[in-house]
Amino acid sequence: MKQENNQYSLWKILGIWLAAGLPMWILGWLIYPAMSQNLDTVEAGLMRMKLLTIGLAWQFVLSMIFLYREEGNMRLSTISRRFWLNHPTTPETGKPQKRLWWWIIPLILLVAALEMGLGSLLTDWWLAIFPFFAEPEGYSFSALFVPELRGQFVGNWGLLMLFFALALFNTFLGEEFLFRGVLLPKMEGAFGKWDWVANGLLFAFYHLHQPWGILSSIPVALVFAFSGKQFRSNWFPIILHSGQSVFFLFLVLGLVLGLA
């Protein structure tokens, strides 16, 4: 497989990782506790969603900064080429093959199995070893959807728009643009054929703003990175990463419509 030109050094990769993660860590562990002290469960949950959306939107801005500095423009054609937003290609020839899209089905099933099966087991192990990483009270978005609070969201279209923005930057324009778009094509120079492994691990450990899920996120993060590298198409990790967001988007829509 052809290597991208102007590969990043290890220190540049770590610098970009830090630039992506530090705002999320500050927003999650400093700003959110300070701003949510006197808020009820719903207000605090919405505040956390807003703050994390800001951090994820910053990753999109950061991606565009690197794109412009490297390419001199931000045209859609440039984004598509630089961030591997194209049809999957065969590893042997590097030529696009639309039939490779069928691989998305077993990969979706694999990610679902990892998240629902292995994920909970790894989380239990992780928290048994590091109990201080347990999720603090008021940090889980699931607290917003308990039966006694659901009535407050009927007709709240602002909640739907907020969650849509969070999901859009979380699994597409933010994390995926930065980790698989900016970083993955430029990591082979530092990590060789194991660049996808390094990318997956960096992505998992970037989640210090929610450390209770770091270990359980490693398997799926590796699948995201491997699929992007193997087929040289980052539509694969974007689709795989977005599955959970689509599920919760329909859940929130049901709440707003009063159907849940």
Are 20 and 62 in contact by the 8 Å Cβ rule? The answer is: yes
First-to-final CA distance of the chain: 48
Measured between alpha carbons, how far is 26 from 33 in angstroms, rounded to an integer? 10
Which residue bears the tokens 């210090």?
Answer: 208
Q: Give the global pTM.
A: 0.91
Number of C-beta neighbours around residue 170 at 10 A: 21
Q: What is the pLDDT of residue 207?
A: 94
Q: What is the pLDDT of residue 256?
A: 82
Q: What is the pLDDT of residue 244?
A: 83
- What pLDDT tens digit does each residue of the chain (260 aa) get? 555 678 999 999 999 999 999 999 999 999 999 998 888 777 888 889 999 999 999 999 999 999 999 999 999 999 999 999 999 998 777 788 889 999 999 999 999 999 888 888 999 999 999 999 888 877 777 766 776 666 777 787 888 899 899 999 999 999 999 999 999 999 999 999 999 999 999 999 999 999 999 999 999 999 999 999 999 999 999 999 998 888 888 888 888 887 76
Residue type, 25: W
Domain boundaries, the chain: 10-256
Number of C-beta neighbours around residue 17 at 10 A: 18
The residues pairing with 89 across neighbouring beta strands, listed in sequence order, are 96
Measured between alpha carbons, how far is 74 from 90 in angstroms, rounded to an integer? 27
- Which phi and psi (to 5°) does residue 85 adopt? -95, 80
Which residue bears the tokens 């689709």?
Answer: 239
Residue type, 183: L
Q: What is the pLDDT of residue 78?
A: 96
